[in-house]
Amino acid sequence: MKVPLLDLTKQYHSIQNEVENAILATARSQKCILGEEVENFEANIAKYLNCKYAIAVSSGTDALLMALMALDVRPDDEVIVPDFTFFATAGCVARMFAKPVFVDVDPITFNIDPSKIEAKITNKTKAIIPVHLFGQSAEMDKIVEICKKHNIAIIEDAAQALGTQYKDGRFVGTVGDFGCFSFYPSKNLGAFGDGGLITTNDPEMAAKLKQMRNHGMNPKYYHKFIGGNFRLDALQAGILNVKLDYLNQWHEKRRKNAELYLKYFQEFRLIDIANNFEFSKDNYLIYPKAIYSESGAENFHIYNQFTIRVQNRNELQKFLSTREIGSDIYYPVPLHRQECFAYLNANDKEFAITNRIADEVLSIPIFPELEEEQIRFVAESISDFYQK
C-alpha cells in the first residue's frame, strides 16, 4: 500500500472547478498585482483570525523580514529565536544584520522553552520570534509576560499554524505584535506557489506594512522609506479565497487522523501514555501532545505536520521507504550548528533538547485525504520495525 507524505492532487480534485474558475477570473480581468482579489482575501482572513488587519505578502519569509523592518531592527540589535525551527526564522534576523540568539526548546511541543528565555535577554534584545511549530502553539502566556517585563516586541512565526488556537481560544498570530504566516503549497492553507501574510492590531503598523510591500511607495513614485517588492499576486489570492472556505474541515480531518494514529500506536503497543518524554521497552515513540492550561483547556493543534520522536530514526525512515510510506525530517540540523551561523560561537551544550530531537524527529503522513487503512498501515509498519 502506497502512502505518500503529502498528496495535493486529491485536495485539488475535490475543489477543482472552484479553483479553476478563480484562476480564469483573474486571467480574464488581467488585474494581476494586488487589487480587489487581494483585498477580499485580506478581509476574509482577518475575519477568520479575528484580528484587525491582515496584509497579504509574497511569502512567509518576507512576512518575517517585513515585521523586523517595521520594528526598525538594526545591526546592533538581538532577536531571540528557537534553535529548532525552519531556517527562515533566524535567517531573516541575520539578513537585517542583527544577531539571532538561540534558545532551546520543549521536548514535547518542539516549541521554544519559556523558562530559558530570560537568561538570553540583554539590553540589545529588540524582539522575540516564538514559532508555533508543526501547528502547535507555543506557550504564549509566559512569553507575553516576559516580553512585557522587558519591553520586547513579539513576532509570532505562525508559518505552519494558520488556524491554530491558543488554549484561551485566541488564534496564534494575533497574540503578539505581529503574526507571520506562509501559504507555501504544503501548508494547511496552500497557494499554487509562494505567498504569505502579516497580521497586526496596530493601525499605524498596518499602514506601514502595506506601504512597505510596495517599495515604501505612497503616493505613486514617492518613497518615504525603503520597502521592497513584497506583494501577493491576485492569482494566488483568488485560489486562497476558495480554499479558505474549506480550511476548518481540513483541520478537523487532520486532527481526526492524529487521533487515529494515537489509537493504533496504543493498539500496537508503541507508546506508553504515562511516559511521553523518554523511550523505554514500552515506549518506542513519542507523539505530539497538546499543551494545557491550568483549567484543563487544550491548544487547538492543526497538525501541519505529524512529527514523532523515534529511536533509530534513519533506519526507521529507510524501512518505511521500502513499504512506500513517505516521511521527512523536519529538521535534521539545529540552527546553532548551521555553518552560516558558526560566527556566533554558540555553546553546543546549551541546546541539549534540540540536539537530541534533531536526531529523533520524523514526520509521517497526516494530510486530510488519508484513509484510515493507510494510517493503520503506517502504524503497523512502525510496529513491525521495532517489534520484529
DSSP letters, 234-282, are HHHHHHHHHHHTTHHHHHHHHHHHHHHHHHHHHHTT--BTTBSSS-BTT
Q: What is the pLDDT of residue 388?
A: 72
Closest CA to 13 of 303, 252, 257, 369: 369
At residue 50, the 3 state secondary structure works out as coil
Is 61's pLDDT higher than 80? yes
At residue 108, the 3 state secondary structure works out as coil
Q: Where in the chain is the domain with CATH 3.90.1150.10?
A: 248-387
Q: What is the pLDDT of residue 297?
A: 57
Q: Are strands 178-182 and 196-200 parallel, antiparallel or unpaired?
A: antiparallel
| Per-residue pLDDT tens digits for 95-127 | 999 999 999 999 888 999 999 999 999 999 999
Rg from Cα positions in the chain? 21
Is 298's pLDDT higher than 90? no
| Per-residue pLDDT tens digits for 198-240 | 999 999 999 999 999 999 999 999 999 999 999 999 999 999 9
| pLDDT band with cut points at 50, 70 and 90 for residue 295 | very low
Is 187's pLDDT higher than 80? yes
| pLDDT band with cut points at 50, 70 and 90 for residue 293 | very low
Q: What is the pLDDT of residue 328?
A: 98
Global pTM value: 0.95
| pLDDT band with cut points at 50, 70 and 90 for residue 290 | low
Q: Where in the chain is the domain with CATH 3.40.640.10?
A: 8-103+112-244
pLDDT more than 90, % of the chain? 88
Q: What is the pLDDT of residue 291?
A: 57
Q: What is the pLDDT of residue 275?
A: 67
CATH for 248-387? 3.90.1150.10
Is 276's pLDDT higher than 80? no
The top-level CATH class assigned to 8-103+112-244 is alpha beta
Q: How many angstroms separate the CA atoms of 34 and 26, rounded?
A: 11
